[in-house]
Amino acid sequence: MSIKGDLQDVCVSLGGTPILHDVSLEIPAGSFLTLLGPSGSGKTTTLNVLAGFVSPQSGHVLFDGEPVDKLPPERRSTGIVFQDYALFPHLTVEQNVEFPLKARRVPRAERLERVNRMLELVQLPGTNGKRITTLSGGQRQRVAVARALVFEPRLLLLDEPLAALDKHLRESMQVELRGLQEQLGITTVAVTHDQAEALVMSDLVAIMRAGAVEQVGTPKEVYKRPRTRFVATFLGEANLLRVDDPLVAALGIGWTAQGGDAEVLLRPEDLRLERPEDAPDRPAFYVRRIEFHGARLRISVNPDIRSSTEDLTVSLEACTDAEAWQVGDRVALACDPRAAHVIDPENAAPPAMVSA
């Protein structure tokens, strides 16, 4: 069931406009890879190249090492869940899930058995006769997943599968979808523009920008060790300081020589605030703004109380100590130097197009 997927130097252009530029991806067998990027970064096109709806101008698509470039979509055996689910509105749940089996001329008895097994797996047993239009958003999503999986495809492709659901449902479907994928062990590629979703669901995240892949790695890698400035700022909040900024040395961050254009990434949660009298040798800042985010406080600090330079952002757990800070307070900034990460500006990939 679980196969390895590969893209090798795939280039796509549409009417002269380059859409994908030398995209290479290795999708290990049985893994869940998410393509993450802003709209227009080429992630859906990449998915369509895998599905066979878009033929690359150059480069290759391999399934388990075998080139499938010449195979049309209907012969690639990929299960796709579309953003709007693309269920057939005039058919029932059963007829929808049965459709791919009918296309494969599976005999009726076996069809029914497999449909029922699948509906149980997506926690919709007994809904066979229901019309699609009577289902809720979450139920439609499950039917779409069942339909994409019932014919045991080699690859599962998810195009923003949860974008149409509300926040609470989305979060529980993330867990469910991931659980199902692990249970079946099917190699899966998802597209999303939601950073949190990508981090939570995936084994691997590929961050795309302007038609090129900027970084592929585990969620932890891409969040903690981003290769480029874009990855750092796209995934969560980032304080970026030039390596030659005196503040970098003052915070005790060591760095290997990389030229003055390199930047140090400090995540807001890696910074701490201390009372200046307790830490007289720490750099001194003023609190400019405090936002309450429930679990956390987001505090903007600046060396100068009325400066127009960009604030640094500190994220603290909303405990009693942290809540004592007031706007205007003088604070000392501290950090764990091990958490700091240096970004080499040379890493920036040449994009296929100027980003919109």
Partner 1 sequence: MPLVTLATRAIHDKGASGIGHTLTDPLFEQAVTRTLVLALTVAVICLLLGTLYALALVTAKGPVKALLWGALLVSFWISLLVRTYGWVLLLQPNGVLDKTLRGLGVIHDSLNALQTTPAMYPGMVHIMLPYMVLPIYTSLAALDPSQLRAARSMGAPPLLTFRKVILPQLRPGAIAGAILVFVLSLGFFVTPAFLGGPSKLTVGTIIEREFNSVYDFGAASVMSLALVFVVLAIYLVADRLFRVGEHWTAG
Phi, psi of 66 (to 5 degrees): -100, 130
Residue 151: contacted member of a copy of itself, partner 1, none (CB under 5 to 8 Å, by partner type): partner 1
Q: How far is the CB of 292 from a copy of itself (least distance, A)?
A: 5
84 touches partner 1 (CB under 8 A): yes
88 binds partner 1 (CB under 8 A): yes
Backbone angles phi, psi at 305, to 5 degrees: -65, -30
Instruction: Give residues in contact with a copy of itself (CB under 8 A).
Output: 38-39, 166-167, 175, 193-196, 199-200, 219-220, 223, 235-236, 267-269, 289, 291-296, 298, 315, 317-320, 323, 336, 338
Residue 27 Cβ vs partner 1, minimum distance, rounded to whole Å = 17
Cβ nearer to partner 1, comparing 89 with 350: 89
Nearest approach, Cβ of 250 to partner 1 (angstroms)? 52
How far from 19 is each of 16, 68, 154, 171, CA to CA, in Å?
Answer: 9, 21, 26, 31
Pick from 100, 33, 24, 87: nearest CA to 58 = 24
Quick one: which of 5, 18, 56, 79 contacts partner 1 (CB under 8 A)? 79
16 belongs to the binding site for partner 1 (CB under 8 A):
no
Which of 57, 64, 69, 104 touches partner 1 (CB under 8 A)?
A: 104
* Residue 293 partner contact from a copy of itself, partner 1, none using kind-dependent CB cut-offs of 5 to 8 Å: a copy of itself
Helices 108-121 and 137-149 meet at what angle, rounded to 10?
130
CA dihedral for 318, 319, 324, 330, sign (positive or negative): negative
Task: Choose between 100 and 226: whose C-beta lies nearer to partner 1.
Answer: 100
Q: How many helices (H) and strands (E) does the chain have?
A: 9, 18
CA angle 93, 96, 100 (to 5 degrees): 145
Sorted by sequence, the CB contacts under 8 Å of residue 275 that are 6+ apart come out as: 331, 332
- Among partner 1, a copy of itself, none, residue 219 binds (CB under 5-8 Å by kind): a copy of itself
Q: Where are the beta strands (DSSP E) in 187-338?
A: 188-192, 204-209, 212-217, 239-242, 263-266, 271-274, 284-292, 296-302, 312-317, 330-335
CA dihedral 56, 59, 63, 66 (to 10 degrees): 120
Closest among 283, 190, 196 to 237, alpha carbons compared:
196
Cβ 58 to partner 1, closest distance in Å? 24
Question: Taking contact as CB under 8 A, which single stretch among the options 58-66, 95-103, 201-209, 340-348 is the one that binds partner 1?
Answer: 95-103
To partner 1, the closest distance from the beta carbon of 105 in angstroms equals 10
Give the residues lining the site for partner 1 (CB under 8 A).
Answer: 51-53, 72-80, 82-84, 86-91, 99-100, 102-104, 147-148, 151, 157
